[in-house]
């Protein structure tokens, strides 16, 4: 059963993790990472613990209990029935109390997930905590989460062991009724002593089954939390191919968008991006520039309206096909633990199996060789997911190389040069200029020199995307226009 249990645990964790990978970005914005980690690690382990150990113990104890019960009744039917009466009470009470006990265990697992989320948040932001000397604040937050978990664990434990006193009651009933039968001349003292001894052979397995019942309630609570994840369906499915209204690279048609529970970020927005041109999105902080870029890359779907990519509804593209066409350099680039090479070829099947020498040659052919020279050990430079081993500017360089190496039809740069010095920024601009003439570039930046060479500028503010015309007009909108976010 150990091998079977581990196999079940292995497959279940795989299923939960793969399901999480299928869910949209919005799901992770609304759920704490620590709680999701707890569902994969702790909840699946609770389920495995019951199935790998509990079922075997349950079968063995049930066999012993049935055998002892039959023997007790055969020795003296009236006294045997009296001895088994508390067990019937336990069975009825258990059926009635199971939903309440299960609810207590669910609350315990939820509090454990909440505590994991607090730990994950504090460790991820430890630099900020130290910089602002707010260790006391996170200590209080963790202490609150830990106290909540302690209280819920005690409550779940008490609920699960609520019926333990009933087992002692059985012996009192047997002794009391046995004395009555001895007085009436229907029982001997020796038989009563034997009965008291044999009754332990019935109630000891029942106690162990009761403990397994507690494990079962915990396993069922864990199963509910796991099932919640497995039952989720992405609200961003791939649709059937629809009409082709335009041959433009990208088109927004009456697009509206709002985050769950938030105000409308874009309202009835329409614009078109043509192939081979450079577009800039400018506007106040919080005006909707990053949201617009996220809709272009289909990190989210519009609340209403449609986004077209190469004349097709962007929802009709499979993820692999869509990501081949779109390169996206995020405002806060995320890197995976590994090397510079691992991060550059991430998701790029074309170069994944290239040797280091071949990959360096490819980078040089794409004018990216000078960027690689900014790393002491080149492709073998170590990178951690926290990014502590390299500077923020170097993180953005890796993200730039990763996106440019894909040669996408549409390249979106969301403030991709904000943490890079002026010399390196000029180098990046030269690389952008050498991209294929058909590549459409969308640049989001607050520094106006970054967008000076844009063919067209859009002003994004208060839910609207308005053509800004020339650079001078864009500056006037930024300085003199109504600013909403």
H or E stretch covering 254: strand 250-258
Confidence of residue 485 (pLDDT cuts 50, 70, 90): low
Q: Please, are residues 407 and 435 in contact by the beta-carbon 8 Å criterion? A: yes
Q: At a CB cut-off of 8 Å and minimum separation 6, what does 474 contact?
A: 280, 282, 448, 451, 457, 459, 468
The total of other beta-carbon atoms located within 10 Å of residue 259's CB is 14
Q: What is the pLDDT of residue 109?
A: 80
Domains in the chain and their CATH numbers?
2-230 (1.20.1560.10), 250-480 (3.40.50.300)
Burial class of residue 349 (count of CB atoms within 10 Å of its CB; 0-12, 13-18, 19+): exposed
List the structure tokens of 12.
Answer: 């279940």
The DSSP result for 436-476, as a single string, is: -TT-EEEEE-SSGGGGTT-SEEEEEETTEEEEEESHHHHHH
First-to-final CA distance of the chain: 58
The 3-state DSSP class for residue 313 equals strand
Q: What is the pLDDT of residue 255?
A: 93
Query: pTM value?
Result: 0.70
Q: b/e per residue, 90-122, with b = 16+ CB within 10 A?
A: beeebeeeeeebbebbbbbbbbbbbbbbbbbbb
Q: What is the pLDDT of residues 350-384, one digit of tens each?
A: 888 888 888 888 888 888 888 888 888 888 888 87
Q: What is the pLDDT of residue 108?
A: 82
Please indicate whether residue 53 or residue 24 has the higher confidence score (pLDDT): 24
Burial class of residue 341 (count of CB atoms within 10 Å of its CB; 0-12, 13-18, 19+): buried
Q: What is the pLDDT of residues 201-250, one digit of tens each?
A: 777 787 777 777 777 778 888 888 888 888 888 777 777 665 555 568 89
Please indicate whether residue 378 or residue 130 has the higher confidence score (pLDDT): 378
């Amino acid at each position: 059963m150990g091998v079977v249990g581990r196999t079940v645990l292995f497959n279940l964790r795989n299923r939960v993790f793969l399901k999480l990978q299928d869910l949209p970005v919005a799901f992770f914005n609304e759920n704490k990472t620590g709680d999701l980690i707890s569902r994969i690690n702790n909840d699946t382990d609770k389920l495995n613990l019951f199935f790998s150990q509990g079922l075997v113990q349950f079968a063995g104890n049930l066999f012993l209990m049935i055998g002892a019960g039959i023997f007790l009744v055969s020795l003296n039917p009236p006294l045997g029935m009296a001895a088994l009466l508390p067990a019937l009470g336990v069975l009825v009470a258990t059926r009635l109390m199971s939903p309440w006990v299960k609810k207590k265990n669910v609350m315990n697992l939820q509090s454990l997930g909440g505590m994991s989320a607090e730990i994950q948040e504090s460790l991820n932001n430890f630099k900020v905590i130290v910089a602002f000397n707010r260790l006391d604040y996170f200590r209080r937050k963790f202490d609150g989460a830990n106290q909540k978990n302690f209280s819920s664990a005690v409550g779940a434990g008490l609920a699960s062991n609520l019926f333990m006193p009933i087992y002692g009651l059985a012996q009192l009933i047997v002794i009391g009724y046995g004395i009555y039968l001895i007085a009436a001349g229907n029982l001997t003292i020796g038989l009563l002593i034997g009965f008291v001894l044999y009754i332990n052979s019935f109630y000891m397995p029942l106690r162990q089954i009761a403990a397994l019942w507690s494990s079962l309630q915990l396993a069922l609570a864990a199963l509910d939390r796991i099932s919640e994840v497995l039952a989720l369906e992405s609200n961003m499915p791939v649709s059937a191919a629809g009409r082709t209204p335009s041959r433009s690279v990208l088109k927004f048609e009456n697009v509206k968008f709002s985050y769950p529970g938030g105000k409308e970020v874009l309202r009835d927005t329409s614009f078109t991006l043509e192939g081979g041109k450079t577009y800039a999105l400018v506007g106040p902080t919080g005006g909707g520039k990053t949201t617009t870029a996220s809709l272009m890359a289909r990190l989210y779907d519009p609340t209403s309206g449609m986004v077209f990519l190469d004349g097709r509804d962007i929802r009709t593209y499979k993820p692999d096909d869509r990501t081949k066409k779109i390169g996206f350099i995020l405002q806060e680039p995320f890197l995976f633990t590994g090397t510079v090479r691992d991060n550059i070829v991430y998701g790029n099947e074309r170069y994944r199996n290239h040797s280091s020498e071949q990959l360096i040659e490819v980078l040089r052919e794409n004018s990216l060789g000078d960027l690689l020279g900014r790393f002491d050990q080149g492709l073998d430079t170590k990178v951690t997911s926290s990014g502590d081993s390299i500077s923020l500017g170097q993180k953005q360089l890796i993200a730039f190389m990763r996106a440019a190496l894909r040669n996408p039809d549409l390249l979106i740069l969301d403030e991709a040069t904000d943490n890079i010095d002026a010399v390196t920024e000029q180098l990046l601009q030269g690389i952008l200029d050498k991209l294929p003439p058909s590549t459409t570039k969308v640049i989001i930046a607050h520094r106006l020199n970054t967008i000076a060479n844009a063919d067209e500028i859009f002003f994004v503010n208060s839910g609207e995307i308005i053509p800004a015309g020339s650079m001078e007009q864009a500056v006037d909108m930024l300085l003199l226009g109504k600013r909403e976010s």
